[in-house]
């Protein structure tokens, strides 16, 4: 039995490579961005407000751990999540940490600020069928183009004040962005309500919605 110990240790050390890849807030932010769609190193560096060199280093670690894939396009490298299982793993880590660690909840409150009223997926689908709501995607254009809720309108949060007139006043606006810890949907609801509009945010974001769509399609 003693001879098997090194092999067993090597097994768990191999598994730990993926765990270690999660042990960096910068890498987690990059995974959260890639959950919205593939991007180049330069785009990821800009979105995460870090140098291209640092972003590239973190992406290489994520790639070595099997969490992201990469493809060269000319002189650029485009990264993407390695699969839907990686997306599920990232969301499970995020949600479980929020449920189990009080510090995550406190940090989320500090980051998001004043709470806003939310709507869940089931209710939103009912409202969409009745066509009495406007679903508003406030993420950047490139994220909307990579994937979005069918029928949603795209107005990036930085453009919302100037484009309010594009939204009908007679219907409630449901804003969504990257997920429950994404501040853009929060800000959108505050702006809309300050302008006298009826607005709520979706409890989840595009990645969760996308996974549910895939699960439901697989059951058909």
Model pTM score = 0.92
Instruction: Calculate ∠ Cα 18-87-136, nearest 5°.
Output: 145
pLDDT over 60 at 1, yes or no: no
In the chain, % of residues over pLDDT 90:
93
pLDDT of residue 12: 94
Residue 5 has pLDDT above 90, yes or no: no
Residues 6 or more apart whose Cβ sits within 8 Å of residue 43: 142
Classify burial at 96, counting beta carbons within 10 Å of its beta carbon; exposed 0-12, middle 13-18, buried 19 or more: exposed
Q: What is the mean pLDDT of the chain?
A: 95
Q: Which domains does the chain have, with CATH numbers?
A: 2-88 (1.10.10.10), 114-219 (3.40.250.10)
pLDDT band, residue 39 (cuts 50/70/90) = very high
Tokens 């990232």 belong to which residue?
A: 90
> Which of 67, 160, 177, 202 is an active site residue?
177
Instruction: Please state, in angstroms and as integers, the Cα–Cα distance from residue 68 to each residue in 7, 85, 162, 170, 173, following that order.
Output: 27, 11, 37, 43, 34
Locus of tokens 């007139």 = 165
Q: Give the DSSP H or E segment for 153.
A: strand 153-154
Our answer to whether residue 177 is catalytic in this structure is yes
Q: What is the pLDDT of residue 220?
A: 63
Banded pLDDT at 93 (limits 50, 70, 90): very high
pLDDT in tens, 110-167: 999 989 999 999 999 999 999 999 999 999 999 999 999 999 999 999 999 999 999 9
């Amino acid at each position: 039995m003693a001879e098997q110990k090194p092999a067993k240790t090597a097994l768990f050390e191999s598994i730990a490579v993926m765990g270690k890849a999660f042990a960096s807030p910068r890498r987690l932010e990059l995974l959260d961005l890639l959950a919205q769609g593939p991007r180049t190193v330069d785009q990821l560096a800009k979105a995460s407000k870090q140098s291209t060199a640092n972003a590239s280093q973190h992406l290489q670690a994520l790639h070595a751990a099997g969490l992201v894939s990469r493809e060269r396009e000319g002189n650029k490298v485009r990264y993407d999540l390695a699969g839907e299982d990686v997306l599920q793993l990232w969301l499970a880590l995020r949600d479980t940490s929020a449920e189990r660690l009080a510090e995550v909840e406190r940090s989320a409150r500090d980051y998001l600020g004043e709470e806003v009223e939310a709507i869940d997926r089931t209710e939103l689908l009912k409202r969409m069928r009745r066509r009495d709501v406007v679903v508003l995607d406030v993420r950047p254009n490139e994220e909307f183009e990579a994937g979005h809720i069918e029928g949603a309108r795209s107005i990036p949060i930085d453009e919302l004040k100037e484009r309010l007139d594009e939204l009908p006043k007679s219907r409630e606006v449901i804003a969504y962005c990257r997920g429950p810890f994404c501040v853009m949907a929060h800000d959108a609801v505050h702006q809309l309500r300050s302008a006298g509009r009826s607005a709520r945010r979706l409890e989840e974001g595009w990645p969760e919605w996308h996974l549910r769509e895939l699960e439901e399609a697989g059951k058909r």
